[in-house]
Amino acid sequence: MSIPNPTGSRPDLDLHYTLPEPPRTVDPSETPAPGDLTTPQLPGLGSSVVVTQPAGPHRSPPTPGLPDVPGYDLTGEIARGGMGVVYAARERALGREVAIKVLLPGLAANRQASRQFLREARITAKLPHPGVPPVHAVGTLPDGRPFLAMKLIHGRTLAAILTARAQRATTESISDLELTAPDAPGLLLVFEQICQAVAFAHSLQIVHRDLKPHNIMVGPFGEVQVMDWGLARVTPRKPRFDGETVVIPHPPLSATNLGSSGTQHGAVKGTPAYMPPEQALGHWDVVDERADVFALGGLLCSLLTGSPPYTGDNVRAVIAHARAADLDEAFARLDKCGASENLVRLAKWCLSPDPARRPTDARAVASLVELYRLSHEDQLRKFEKDRAAVAGAEAVARWANLRASTLLCNEPAAEGMSELCRRLLVGVAAGLTIAGGIAYSLWAHGLIRVP
H and E: helices and strands count for the chain:
12, 14
**Mean pLDDT in residue range 409-433:** 59
- Whether the per-residue pLDDT at 397 is higher than 60: the answer is yes
Average pLDDT rounded to a whole number, residues 141-150:
91
What 3-state DSSP class applies to 91? strand
Residue 219 lies in a domain: yes
Judging by DSSP bridges, how do beta strands 233-234 and 206-207 pair with one another?
A: antiparallel
- 194 and 295: one domain? yes
Q: Does the annotation mark 210 as catalytic?
A: yes
Q: Per the domain annotation, does 451 fall within a domain?
A: no
Q: Are residues 210 and 259 in the same domain?
A: yes
Helix axes 289-305, 341-350, angle to 10 degrees: 140
Is 256 in the same domain as 348?
yes
DSSP code per residue over 296-363 = HHHHHHHHHHSS-S---SSHHHHHHHHHHT--HHHHHHHHHS---HHHHHHHHHHT-SSGGGS-SSHH
* Residue 250, phi then psi, degrees to nearest 5: -130, 130
Those residues whose C-beta lies under 8 Å from the C-beta of residue 336, and which sit 6 or more positions away, are none
User: How many beta carbons lie within 10 A of that of residue 221, not counting itself?
Assistant: 9
Give the integer Cα–Cα distance in Å for 140 and 26: 12
> pLDDT category, 183, cuts 50, 70, 90?
low
pTM: 0.66
Say what the pLDDT of residue 267 is. 58
pLDDT higher for 285 or 392?
A: 285
Question: Within a domain: residue 1?
Answer: no
CA 132 from centre of chain: 11
pLDDT in tens, 74-119: 999 998 877 789 999 999 999 999 999 999 888 888 888 888 888 8
Residue from 305, 304, 138, 290 nearest 211 by CA:
290
Do both 191 and 127 map to the same domain? no
Do residue 216 and residue 242 come from a single domain? yes
Rounded Cα distance, 31 and 37, in Å: 11
Indicate the pLDDT class of residue 230, thresholds 50, 70 and 90: confident
End position of a domain, from candidates 135, 151, 167: 151
The percent of residues above 70 in pLDDT, for the chain, comes to 58
Inter-CA distances, 141 with 20, 33, 91, 146, Å:
11, 21, 15, 6
What is the pLDDT, as a whole number, of residue 59?
A: 55
Instruction: Please indicate whether residue 365 or residue 236 has the higher confidence score (pLDDT).
Output: 365
Domain match, 177 and 309 both: yes
Same domain for 250 and 172: yes
Asked whether residue 90 is assigned to any structural domain, the reply reads yes
Q: Which of 166-175, 184-193, 328-337, 427-436 has the lowest average pLDDT?
A: 166-175
In a domain, 213, yes or no: yes
The amino acid at 248: I
Give the per-residue pLDDT at 324. Answer: 95
Amino acid at position 415, single letter: E
Average pLDDT over residues 371-392: 67
Same domain, 140 and 232: no
Instruction: Give the pLDDT confidence score for residue 432 in this predicted structure.
Output: 61
97 and 169 share a domain? no
CB 344 within 8 A of CB 297: no
Q: Is 5 inside any structural domain? A: no
Q: Averaged over 373-382, what is the pLDDT?
A: 68
Residue 434: pLDDT band by 50, 70, 90 thresholds? low
- Which of these three, 151, 178, 193, is where a domain ends? 151
- What's the confidence (pLDDT) of residue 189? 92
Lowest mean pLDDT among 44-48, 70-74, 185-189: 44-48
Instruction: Count how many domains the chain has.
Output: 3
Same domain, 290 and 382: no
Asked whether residue 226 is assigned to any structural domain, the reply reads yes
pLDDT of residue 269: 82
Q: What is the pLDDT of residues 303-327, one digit of tens each?
A: 999 999 999 999 999 999 999 999 9
Q: How far apart are CA 125 and CA 106, in angstroms?
A: 27
- Statement: residue 262 has pLDDT above 50: no
**Residue 241, CB half-sphere, CA atoms under 13 Å: how many?**
2
- Domain of 385? 377-444
3 state SS of 275: coil
- Domain shared by 62 and 146, yes or no: yes
Of 294 and 398, the structure prediction assigns the larger pLDDT to: 294
Question: Is residue 6 situated within a structural domain?
Answer: no
CATH number of the domain that residue 203 is part of: 1.10.510.10
- Per-residue pLDDT of 47-66, as tens digits, reads 333 333 334 435 555 666 79
Which CATH number covers residue 37? 3.30.200.20
Catalytic residue among 14, 73, 210, 361: 210
User: Quick check: 34 pLDDT over 50?
Assistant: no
| pLDDT, position 186 | 84
| Same-domain check for residues 162 and 145 | no
